[in-house]
Amino acid sequence: MPKVRFFILITFSDNHILIDFLSLITRVLGKYDFFTQDIRYSFDIAGNLITDSRYKMKIASFKKLQSLDKCKYLLKKTGQIQDKLISQGYSNFQLTCGYLNRDHVISLYNTASPERVYVKKNLFAQIQLLFKNGKVSTSKLENKEFSVPDTKKFFEDLQSIYKDQVTK
């Protein structure tokens, strides 16, 4: 299986979490190479539409291409980051991690649900975005974060970089 590009998406309302979040991901996962500006998120943390939402998103991606086994390890480490942030008093945020390849943006989870596909022990995947004929489309079961235009644009740009990376 070709290597993939790992990412973490954070949905949050408290700007103070970013300092601790960036410190933890850099220490635990290594240096990220792309980190978005704030992306406005018109939903609450549960995904309910709110017109005056104070929530924002940021996405960090990591340049080094990873195997699926390494992504499973990074998912575990991301869970530890989430636990650490919660222990520091942050509770109003959500972390989603996954990977991008030529054809998809996939979210990874360590628990099963009807929308997720079993990959291997303690690893489940859910397709969020599809790339076809140079266009990105959302899957019918996507998390709302992935339907935001700026998020889709970020992943379109990242897919171009990924394609260049794997052809070198």
Domains of the chain: residue spans and CATH: 5-167 (3.30.70.260)
Going by C-alpha positions, the residue among 101, 92, 120 that lies closest to residue 10 is: 92
- Rounded to whole angstroms, how far apart are CA atoms 91 and 126? 24
List, for residues 123-152, the tens digit of each pLDDT value: 999 999 999 887 888 876 557 788 888 888
List, for residues 71-129, the tens digit of each pLDDT value: 999 999 999 999 999 998 988 888 999 999 999 999 999 999 998 999 989 899 999 99
Backbone angle region of 2, left / alpha / beta, with phi > 0 → left and psi within -120 to 50 → alpha: beta
- Residues 9 and 35: beta-carbon distance below 8 Å: no
Please give the sequence-ordered ranges of beta strands (E in DSSP) within the chain, or none if there are none: 5-12, 34-35, 39-40, 56-61, 93-100, 104-109, 117-120, 123-132, 135-138
**Which pLDDT band, with edges at 50, 70 and 90, does 4 fall under?**
very high
